[in-house]
Amino acid sequence: MRLPTPQAPPYDPEEWQRLPWSERMHLACQAWALDGYGAPLLTYVLYVVKVMAYVAMWMFFCQFNRGIDELGDVRTWAFTPIAFQKAVLWSMAFEGLGLGCASGPLTGRYVPPVAAPWHFLKPGTIKMPLFPRLPFFGRTKRGYVEAATYAAHYVVLFHALCAPAITPELVLPTVVLLPLLGVMDKTIFLAARGEHYFSMTVCFLFADDWLSGAMAVQLAIWIWAAVSKLTSHFPTVIGVMTSNSPVLRWQKLRRAMYRHFPDDLRPSRLASVMAHGGTLLEFTFPVLLVVGRGGALTMLGLGLMLLFHIYITSHFPMAVPIEWNVMVVYSGFFFFGAQATAIPLHIGSPVLLAYLALALVVVPAAGNIAPKWVSFLLSMRYYAGNWAYSVWLFRGDSDTKLDEHIVKISPLPNDQLRRFYDEKTIAGLMSKIPAFRAMHLHGRALGLLLPRAVEDLDEYHYYDGEILAGVVIGYNFGDGHLHDRRLLQSVQAECHFAPGELRHVFVESQPLFRRRLHWQIRDAADGLLEEGHISVNTLLARQPYDSPAHP
C-alpha cells in the first residue's frame, strides 16, 4: 500500500545522515522553517474528516436526549444544558480512546493511527502508575484488573451518553473510575483530559451548581494558558506553527518568522509581536466574556475567542488537539452566549468550591511554579512551548531490544513507515523530528547536552521521547513526565541494556519565576551520570543548530 508522498527536504537524506550533527541540524531546521514537517495535504484532510466524525457522534448521542423532536433542527437543541453535558462526556471518551490529541501521522502514528485503547486493554503493556511504591497499584506492567477497569469506565460512560438525561447517578461511576485509573496509570487520566473534562464532570454531580462550576473551569483554562505564555518560549512556538501550517504556505511569511533566514533561526520581531499579541488576546477575551453578561462586550469577546482558536486549529499543531479546540469554542458560545446570565463560581456547595479551588487554583499554580511535580496538562500550560522533554539515544541496533522484550501495540516509527515508503523518504521524514524539537527554545539545549551524553553521536540512533512514549506506553501528548527516568527504569527492567547502550537526556520545563531549566543525563544501566541547569539567557543566544563550540 502506498500513501501520498510527503514533501522531500531540500537535501539528500542519505547524504544528510553522514554529516556532522551540527550540519545535519542546520539543514533540517532550515527545512522546517520553510516546509514544516512536510506532510502531504491529504493528511490534513483526514484530520478534518475525523473532526466531522467527532461532531457526528455527539449528534448521535444527543438524539437520545429528552425533549428533542427533530435532530436536524440544530438550533433548537445544540446549546441546551444536556447537549453540552453530553459533549463533555463524549469528548472525555473520545480523548481517552486516543482518537483526539496525539493521533495519526502528525504525531508519528501511521500503523495503527490510534493505539491507546488497544494498549490500555492489553495485559503486559507498560504503564505509568501515579505512585510507583504503592502496593499493587504501583506496578509498572498492566494486569487484567487495570484492563477491566478501563473497559468498565467506557461501559458507564457510554451508558450515560445514551441516557435521556444526565443525572448525578449516571456520572458518579465515571467520577470514581477515572481517578482510580489515573492512580493505576496516570497516562489514562491525562489522555482523557482530566484537567478539563473530568473537572466539568465533577461539576455535573451538583445539579444546582454545575453550570457555574463548569463555566469556572473553562475560564481557568484560558487564564492559565495565558499565564503560561509569560516566558521567552512562546515566540518560538509561533514560528514553528506557522512553518508547519497547511493554510499559511507563503514562503515570504515563513521566512519572516525568523531573524535572518537561513542563518539566524531565532524568532523575528514579527514572531515576538504575534506571540505577545496572542498572549494579551488570551487574557482579554475571558474578561470580556465575564463582564459582558450577554451584551456587546460579550459579542466582542466571543468573536476574539473564535478568531484565536481558529488561528490555532488552522495551523494543525503537531499534537493535533483539533477536537479539543472545537469543544472549547463550543463551550464559549454555550456559556457566554446561550447561558450568558450564569455567574462563574456562584456556587452553594462547599464541596464543589473546595474541589474547584484545588483543581483550578492550587494545582495549576504549583505546576507553573514547580513544573517537575505537575503535568503541563494539569497546569493548563497549553501551546506555551515550555514543556519537559526527553531524548533517547540507542547505540547501534540496540533499539531492537524494544521489539524483542516489550509488549506493545505499535512498531517503532521506521517500521511503521516501511509499509508505505522507501528508506530515503523515511530518512527525510525522520530528519524533521529533531529539527522540530530544536526549533523550540528549550530544544537549543540539545547542542550542549547530546555531546555530553555520548562521545560519538553517529554511533547512536536518536529518538524523541514523545515518539518513543507513543510506542512504549501507547500514548503521548507533549508531557515529558511520561517518558522521564521512570519510563527509562521500566524499559530497562524489560530490556536489560548494557552500559552505554541507551542514554537518556531529560530537560525539565522552566519554572514561572526562574530563568533556568534543569537537565539530567542518565544511562539505562548505570543511572544518573550528570545533571545541572541551563540559563534561558544562554538558550536565547544560541541557534537551534549550535554545537558546544558556540556560545
- Please compute the mean of the pLDDT values over residues 210-216 and round it to a whole number: 96
Q: Which pairs with CB-CB distance under 8 Å and at least 24 residues apart come from 39-43?
A: 39/6, 39/7, 39/105, 39/106, 39/246, 40/3, 40/4, 40/5, 40/6, 40/7, 41/4, 41/246, 42/3, 42/4, 43/4, 43/104, 43/105, 43/106
Nearest CA-CA partner of 329 in 227, 248, 221, 211: 221
On the question of pLDDT at 551 being above 50, the answer is no
Average pLDDT over residues 471-487: 95
The rounded distance, in Å, linking the Cα atoms of 511 and 227 is 12
Using the 8-state DSSP alphabet, how is residue 421 labeled?
S
> Which of 223-232, 315-324, 349-358, 448-457 is predicted with the least confidence, judged by mean pLDDT?
315-324
pLDDT in tens, 95-133: 999 999 989 998 888 989 999 999 999 999 999 999 999
Query: pLDDT grade, residue 530 (50/70/90)?
Result: very high
Mean pLDDT of 227-241: 94
> What is the DSSP track for 358-391?
IIIIIHHHHHHHSGGGS-TTTTT--S-S---EEE
pLDDT in tens, 59-107: 999 999 887 777 778 888 999 999 999 999 999 999 999 999 989 998 8
Contact 364, 378 (CB under 8 A): yes
The model scores a pTM over 0.85:
yes
SS3 348: coil
Answer whether 307's CB lies under 8 Å from 277's CB. Answer: no
Describe the crossing of helices 465-472 and 485-495 by its angle, rounded to 10 degrees: 50
**Whole-number pLDDT of residue 19:** 92
Q: How confident is the model at residue 1 (pLDDT cuts 50, 70, 90)?
A: low
Phi-psi sector, 114: left (phi>0), alpha (psi -120 to 50), beta? beta
**Distance between CA atoms of 145 and 152, rounded to whole angstroms?**
10
Closest CA to 511 of 365, 389, 377, 391: 365
Sign of CA dihedral 533, 539, 545, 549: negative
In angstroms, rounded to a whole number, what is the distance separating the alpha carbons of residues 407 and 402?
A: 9
Residue with cell 504549583: 366
Residue 37 DSSP class: T
pLDDT band at 253 (very low <50, low <70, confident <90, very high): very high
Please tell me the predicted confidence (pLDDT) of residue 67.
78
Percent of the chain predicted with pLDDT > 70: 99
pLDDT digits (tens, 9 = 90+) for 384-442: 999 999 999 999 999 999 999 999 999 999 999 999 999 999 999 999 999 999 999 99
d(CA 320, CA 122): 25
Would you place residue 2 in the very low, low, confident or very high pLDDT band (cuts 50, 70, 90)?
low
On the question of pLDDT at 294 being above 90, the answer is no
Cα 350 to Cα 284: distance, rounded to the nearest angstrom: 29
Q: Give me the DSSP letters along 438-478.
A: HHSGGGGGHHHHHHHH-S-GGGEEEEEHHHHHHHHTS--SS
Q: How far is CA 7 from the centre of its chain?
A: 24
What pLDDT sits at residue 550?
A: 46
Three-class SS of residue 394? Answer: strand
Of 27-31, 181-185, 290-294, 349-353, the poorest mean pLDDT is in 290-294
Q: Mean pLDDT check: name the lowest of 341-345, 469-473, 505-509.
A: 341-345
Given a cut of 50, whether residue 373 has pLDDT beyond it is yes
Taking only the tens place, the pLDDT of each residue in 144-168 is 999 999 999 999 999 999 999 999 9
Of 139, 142, 120, 130, residue with least CA distance to 186: 130
Distances (CA, A) of 492 to 93, 406, 528: 32, 10, 14
User: First vs last Cα of the chain: how many Å apart?
Assistant: 47
Residue 514 pLDDT: 93
